[in-house]
Chain A
């Protein structure tokens, strides 16, 4: 069974600075997707970024980028130029051939003014 581990329960960053959230996973599958979802206090789970395992190039979406290390089974999220609106819970998730999402326990990110 796949597992996803987020080792940082909470993190904080100053506005305009850069922060990196960590995620490791375990799987025997070779083709899969990895995701970062953001969940603000409004509860809506919002897709931040998606990485396809067979693509070596790291995904980027504006201020959000990932560092995908397939051999190490590591998938970290870097947020540049942090904004107050980035304050939220961030979940790392794995999706294999079954298409169901397996989530980590989340990292609570606070952006301070």
Chain B
């Protein structure tokens, strides 16, 4: 049984660019959450998707948007990248609330 997978593993972008990160949930899971983990910090909740709708959102600007597909996979999009967006982006999937995390995508903005 494959766990949560994320792609790419890491990437480097320039300020002002746009980026898309992808997540495939654990088999049987219908909910996907995204977290941002800055260096030396705990993860911060960005948003959560369920049944292709954004169910709740953390304190992040509208530059951060997402999508969930019918197969429950999800994308995180960040527009107009800032240096401060450099972080590890974690995807977690769940069924009835218990979240399992993927390995993360390391985003570096230069």
- Report A's interface with B, CB cutoff 8 A: 4, 33, 37, 42-47, 50, 91, 93, 95, 98-106
Contact = CB atoms under 8 A, between A and B. Distances in A.
Contact of A100 (B42, B48, B88, B101): B48
Contacts of A45: 43, 90, 92, 101, 104
B55 to A, nearest CB: 8
What 3 A-B pairs have minimum CB-CB distances, sorted nearest first? A103-B42, A45-B101, A100-B45
B40 to A, nearest CB: 8
A101 B103 contact: no
Contacts of A100: 33, 45, 48, 56, 58
Interface in B34-66: 35, 40-45, 48, 56, 58
A47 B45 contact: no
Nearest to A95: B97
Contacts of B103: 42-44
Interface of A, secondary structure class, is strand
Contact of A105 (B42, B101, B102): B42
A29 B40 CA distance: 28
Nearest to A42: B103
Interface string B76-110: 00000000000010101010011111111010000
A100 B33 CA distance: 8
B94 A99 contact: yes
A42 B106 CA distance: 12
A55 B100 CA distance: 22
A91 B45 CA distance: 14
B101 A44 contact: yes
A105 B48 contact: no
